[in-house]
Every structure is written in structure tokens, then in C-alpha cells.
């Protein structure tokens, strides 16, 4: 065991491991079951890398995870230790949950319990036949070697049953424990997991693993066997990771862009728009550059600072930017292809799809307005209408518009100057919250003043009133009524 294989436990982890060992001793003494408890997978990897991890999965031989969890709870109750109920998470193959898992709180921390297993696959399915297995079998059936390490609670040592996990972790290599092509054909989702972990840690994909990923049969199986929900989960994790540019680079390198970001059939598209997949990498890189641009962010109103959720939306918008100009038929109307890719191709929430489509749509308008602001003063109502149309996402859309200009070859200095002028103009006009502005005279009062009915027909009048309000930020209710009577009423049809 190398020095790298030494795990330093926190005080809480030490207490949990000690308690679980006592439970194991109790089970051995009362049932003659010679079981061994191990922490499996990601926790071991992260602890060896010096990263904090709260994702403790206990793998047990000779009994189910649910049975073990019940033993743990009973032991804690017996010793007056606070417990919680044992939850059973049933297997759900469509969401890559092939094994029943039990979960409960141990000393205040959630812990999952599973049994060691072996897996066999039918040719036409990625849903395995599962049986109790040995530690060696459990390690070999995992996606990559660095995720196949165990921490033995009894010996307090790391166990590497693939014989490669520790070395790969030390050298920064991602490889499958078994034959790569067969591993990917059994469960093609592992292709995306290889990409995700390689990008997360900045590791190199081992040559044989990479060659297998390039084979058409593997890409075909990924397209055929994996649900769009699972693809979306992996893409979302890549977008939220530390290296989203590397993630999209790898997707492009292995020719997986069209498979991952599945668009509706070209027959439904309104026009034959060219999709330059490589633009996804460039725009993602430029988006991160704008997210790191301190001088730009120093101008952003504190209530609209870019959040982690905003960053996620920006990265996803960058990933699907190649579709930004395309429109396709959707439920008897036209919709942005980027929206359809996110909503249907990745099965991400509709709110995410709507936000990404809106950000794309706002790019030309914000870019044009920023250029005007850079050239000189802009009328307050003109600026206000744009902020109202953009809504609360106006800052996110501004950052993305700046990234697109950078992608198109505009210098960083010019991009920062232009979009800083826009943000500054919005702040100086006190329009940061313009989208929250309500009509100073409501629709019912307007209808009374004009002697007309309320309803959709009054919207153009309300639009003119909002235009007046934006142009007259200190205008009163009475002044607005006067505007309606003198400027709008005379032009109303009899």
C-alpha cells in the first residue's frame, strides 16, 4: 500500500466507522455471519485525493444492505443512540439504479447500505442481472478503476481489487476495470461517466478506453440503450463541474455531440440552419472568461450577482449555442431548437429550457443596446423596455451576450467596455428592477377613463402607459391620468 493509500478520517467518520464495526461484531457474535463492512466508491477516491466527502456507501457481503441497516438501527436503539427510520430505495434501472439501497442516519449523517454484487448483461439491455458477489466481482463491474476502491472498516486499509485503481488515481488516468468495449456495450452510460470524471479531475483517458469510446458500435449502443434523462443527468454534472470546457472538448473529440445533444428531426426545422458543434467549446470558454471578468462583475447590482444556478444555466446555454439560430415545429407552434434539445434531448426542467432559450434570444438585443450605451446616452424608456422584456435574467443574458461577442472575435477590452457601459446605464437610470414595475393606473381605471371595456384590447394602451412611466420615473398617478386623457383618449376609436 503506497503513501497515497492512507486515508485520514475526520472525527465524525472515525466515530461512524467504530460504531459500524461494533455492529458487525455484534452480528458475528449473535448470528455467526462472518461479514466484512467496507466503504465503497467515490468516498474512498475523494478521501485519497484530500477532498471532503459526505457520500458514505457501506458495502456488505453475506446480507442485503437493507438487513444491515436494520441491524445498525437496532444496535443504536439498544445503546440509546439517536436513530432515524430506514429508508429503502428500490432499484430503478431506467435511472441507472440497478440495486436496492437502504439509507438511514448514523450519528447524524446519512449513510447508504448495499450488498456486494456481480452483474451480467443480456445483449439487448443495459439492465443487469444482479447476484451477491465478492469484493473482486463488485470492483470489476464498476465504471472506472478509481471508483472501484474500497476502505475496509476492520483493517482501516484501502483495498484495490482491480490492481489498478490506486496507480490510476496517482497518475491521473481514467480506465475501465475490464475490457473497455464490452464494459461500454454492457452499459453505454459508462461512456459519459468516463468523460465526466476525466473532465472533473482533469485526468487522461487511457488509450484502450479511448479507442473503445471511438468505435461506432459503442456510440450506437449509447444512442439506443440510454434514456435521455440519464444523458441529461451526466451533462448537468459536467456543466456544474470545475472543468466544463474540458467536458465539452471531450464530447466533441469523441464525436458524441449529436448523440448527447439530440435535436429534433431536421424535417421539423423551419430552415436549413448550419449547426457548428465546435462553437460550443469556444462559447463555453468565453463564458467562463466573462464569469471571471472582475471589472464587469464589479458593476453588477448585488441583488443580481451571478449565482451557481446562473452559472449552470450559462454553461448549458453555451453547450447548446450551436442551435441558437434554429427553429423547429413543436406542438403546433415553432420553438427554439436549443429549447427542444434541453427540454426533450436532455430532459432537463422546462424552466431551464425556457431560461436558456430566452438568454439566446436576448443576445442580439442586449448587444445592440450595449453598443448604443457605449456610443452615448440612451432614452430611459428604450432601456427600460429591454430590462422588462429580459426580466430577472437580464444580468445572466448580459454576461452571455458578452461571451458571444468574445467568441465572434471582439477583443476582451472592447467587450468589457461595451457591456460595462450597458450595465452602468441601467444602474444610472435606476432600471435594475424595471421588470417589477407595475402600471401606475390599472387596466380597470384606464377602461373607465377611456369609456371602453377591459380585456386584451386594452393592452396597447397599457403598453403606452408603461412607456410614459419609464420616461417619467417621478410621474404621479394624476399626471398619468392626465396623459391618458390628453394623449390617448383623443385617438381612441369611437
Confidence of residue 95 (pLDDT cuts 50, 70, 90): very low
Using only C-alpha atoms, the chain has a radius of gyration, in whole angstroms, of: 29
DSSP letter, residue 420: H
Cβ-Cβ contacts under 8 Å for 75 (sequence gap 6 or more) = 19, 22, 23, 26
Average of pLDDT values for 330-338?
94
Cβ-in-10-Å burial (0-12, 13-18, 19+) of 415 comes to buried
pLDDT at 97: 44
Q: Report which of residues 128 and 394 the model is more confident about.
A: 394
Does residue 413 have a pLDDT over 70? yes
Phi and psi torsions of 116, nearest 5°? -60, 145
pLDDT at 132: 77
Q: What is the pLDDT of residues 347-385, one digit of tens each?
A: 999 999 999 999 999 999 999 999 999 999 999 999 999
Percent of the chain with pLDDT over 70: 95
Q: What is the pLDDT of residues 443-486, one digit of tens each?
A: 889 988 888 888 887 888 999 999 999 999 999 999 999 999 99
Does residue 198 have a pLDDT over 60? yes
pLDDT at 260: 97
Helix, strand, coil shares, percent, the chain, to 5: 60, 10, 30
Does residue 2 have a pLDDT over 70? no
Q: What is the pLDDT of residues 132-152, one digit of tens each?
A: 789 999 999 999 999 999 999
Model pTM score? 0.90
- Say which residue the cell 469510446 belongs to: 213
Confidence of residue 125 (pLDDT cuts 50, 70, 90): low
- DSSP code string of 10-51: PHHHHHHHHHHHHHHHHHHHHH-----EEEETHHHHHHHTT-
Average of pLDDT values for 317-325?
98
pLDDT at 33: 80
- The answer to whether 458 touches 492, Cβ cutoff 8 Å, is no
Nearest alpha-carbon partner for 144 in 99, 115, 180, 118: 180
CA–CA gap between residue 430 and residue 437 (Å, rounded): 12
In 49-134, which ranges are continuous DSSP H helix?
65-78
pLDDT at 127: 65
Average of pLDDT values for 273-283?
97
Angle between helices 228-240 and 308-319 (to 10 degrees): 120
Does residue 435 have a pLDDT over 60? yes
C-alpha dist (Å) from residue 248 to 86, 239, 257, 261: 40, 9, 8, 11
C-alpha dist (Å) from residue 407 to 41, 174, 404: 39, 31, 5
Cβ-Cβ contacts under 8 Å for 104 (sequence gap 6 or more) = 69, 72, 73, 83, 84, 85, 86, 87, 110, 111, 113
CB atoms within 10 A of CB 30: 9
pLDDT at 90: 66
pLDDT at 3: 46
pLDDT at 451: 84
- The answer to whether 162 touches 177, Cβ cutoff 8 Å, is yes
Amino acid at each position: 500500500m503506497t503513501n497515497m493509500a492512507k486515508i485520514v478520517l475526520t472525527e465524525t467518520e472515525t466515530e461512524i466507522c467504530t460504531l459500524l464495526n461494533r455492529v458487525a461484531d455484534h452480528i458475528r457474535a449473535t448470528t455467526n455471519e462472518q461479514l466484512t463492512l467496507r466503504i465503497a466508491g467515490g468516498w474512498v477516491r475523494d478521501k485519497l485525493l484530500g477532498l471532503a466527502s459526505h457520500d458514505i456507501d457501506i458495502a456488505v457481503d453475506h446480507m442485503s444492505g437493507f438487513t444491515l441497516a436494520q441491524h445498525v438501527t437496532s444496535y443504536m436503539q439498544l445503546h440509546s443512540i439517536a436513530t432515524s427510520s430506514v429508508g429503502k430505495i428500490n432499484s430503478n434501472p431506467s435511472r441507472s439504479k440497478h440495486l436496492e439501497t437502504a439509507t438511514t442516519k448514523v450519528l447524524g449523517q446519512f449513510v447508504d447500505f448495499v450488498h456486494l454484487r456481480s452483474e451480467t448483461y443480456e445483449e439487448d439491455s443495459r439492465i443487469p442481472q444482479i447476484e451477491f458477489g465478492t469484493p473482486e466481482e463488485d470492483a470489476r463491474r464498476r465504471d472506472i478503476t478509481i471508483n472501484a476502491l474500497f476502505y475496509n472498516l476492520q483493517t482501516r486499509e484501502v483495498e484495490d481489487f482491480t490492481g489498478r485503481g490506486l496507480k490510476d488515481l496517482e497518475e491521473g488516468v481514467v480506465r475501465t476495470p475490464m475490457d473497455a468495449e464490452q464494459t461500454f456495450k454492457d452499459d453505454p452510460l459508462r461512456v459519459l461517466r468516463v468523460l465526466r470524471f476525466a473532465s472533473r479531475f482533469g485526468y487522461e483517458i487511457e488509450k484502450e478506453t479511448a479507442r473503445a469510446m471511438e468505435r461506432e458500435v459503442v456510440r450506437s449502443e449509447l444512442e439506443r440503450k440510454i434514456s435521455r434523462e440519464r444523458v441529461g443527468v451526466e451533462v448537468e454534472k459536467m456543466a456544474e463541474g470545475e472543468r466544463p470546457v474540458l467536458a465539452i472538448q471531450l464530447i466533441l473529440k469523441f464525436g458524441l455531440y449529436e448523440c448527447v445533444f439530440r435535436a429534433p428531426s431536421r424535417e421539423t426545422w423551419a430552415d436549413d440552419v448550419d449547426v457548428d458543434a465546435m462553437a460550443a467549446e469556444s462559447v463555453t470558454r468565453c463564458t467562463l472568461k466573462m464569469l471571471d471578468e472582475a471589472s464587469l462583475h464589479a458593476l453588477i447590482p448585488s441583488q443580481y450577482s451571478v449565482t451557481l444556478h446562473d452559472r449552470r444555466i450559462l454553461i448549458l446555454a453555451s453547450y447548446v449555442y450551436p442551435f441558437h439560430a434554429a427553429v423547429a415545429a413543436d406542438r403546433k407552434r415553432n420553438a427554439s431548437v436549443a429549447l427542444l434539445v434541453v427540454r426533450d434531448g436532455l430532459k432537463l426542467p422546462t424552466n431551464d429550457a425556457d431560461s436558456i432559450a430566452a438568454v439566446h434570444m436576448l443576445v442580439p438585443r442586449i448587444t445592440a443596446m450595449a453598443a448604443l450605451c457605449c456610443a452615448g446616452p440612451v432614452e430611459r424608456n428604450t432601456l427600460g423596455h429591454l430590462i422588462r422584456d429580459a426580466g430577472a435574467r437580464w444580468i445572466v443574458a448580459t454576461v452571455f451576450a458578452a461571451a458571444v461577442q468574445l467568441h465572434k472575435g471582439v477583443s476582451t477590452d472592447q467587450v468589457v467596455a461595451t457591456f460595462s457601459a450597458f450595465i452602468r446605464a441601467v444602474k444610472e437610470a435606476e432600471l435594475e428592477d424595471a421588470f417589477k414595475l407595475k402600471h401606475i393606473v390599472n387596466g380597470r381605471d384606464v377602461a373607465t377613463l377611456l369609456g371602453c371595456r377591459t380585456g386584451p384590447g386594452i393592452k396597447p394602451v397599457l403598453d403606452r402607459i408603461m412607456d410614459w412611466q419609464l420616461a417619467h420615473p417621478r410621474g404621479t398617478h394624476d399626471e398619468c391620468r392626465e396623459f391618458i386623457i390628453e394623449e390617448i383618449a383623443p385617438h381612441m376609436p369611437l
